[in-house]
Amino acid sequence: VCSSDLASFDPIGYDAGNYFDGSFDGKGYTITGLYINRPSTTYVALFGYSIGQISNVIIKNATIIGNTYVGALVGFMSSGTVKNSSADAYISGYSQVGGLVGFCFGVSCTISNSFTSNFVNGSGDIGGLLGASYRSLVENSHSNSTVTGSDIVGGLVANLAGDGSNYGRVIDSYALGDVTGSSEVGGLVGRLWDKSKVQYSFSAGNVTGSSSVGGM
């Protein structure tokens, strides 16, 4: 489905009241040339807001422009899953912007066996694979994205957060792309909350920033 203005694709599940809650298997087919130009809009991606299960989706040569909760595959994912999927795209937004998923929310929210090779830019919570993680899991995934932002910028995940006994986790994953920001900039994770966990993971890209800069 395309809107009449700028031939911009209308995201599937475009807000919290109209979310995608099914199961979508891309079966390894490639989606080429996806174009979404909605610079003032929230929940911008192929699936804008999802609580469903998405797998085996390949996105190439895409351009995704939004405001908040922006990604190639999912803008905002609550208690949903993404697995065996990838993105090669130019992605731009203001906050909670990720190469594959903008925001992953909840203990049942998981990204696994997925990767990105993107140019991702924005202001805050900007990540090569995932913008912000709240109590969620990234495993067996990697990013070769070039990431540019201002505050809280990460090569794989920008903001790995949570509360109580449930915090964000990154396991068996890595980032290879260059990361540039101002504060809280990391090759793998930009902001790592105290109880969040990073296990068996690494980064190898160049990291540039002015404060709170590190390889993690």
Q: Which residues face 68 on adjacent strands?
A: 42, 95
- Which amino acid makes up residue 38? R
Type of residue numbered 52: G
Average the pLDDT over 8-19 and give the result: 91
Above 90 in pLDDT, residue 87? yes
Mean pLDDT, the chain, whole residue set? 93
Residue pLDDT, tens place only, 48-64: 999 999 999 999 999 99
Q: What is the DSSP letter of 179?
A: E
pLDDT confidence of residue 7: 52
Query: Is the pLDDT confidence value at 5 over 70?
Result: no
Closest-CA residue to 91 (of 29, 18, 22, 143): 143
* CA distance linking residue 65 with residue 215, whole number of Å: 28
List for the chain the helix, strand, coil content (%; round to 5): 0, 55, 45
pLDDT at 90 over 50: yes
The residue-averaged pLDDT of 8-22 equals 92
> Is 80 exceeded by the pLDDT of residue 214?
no
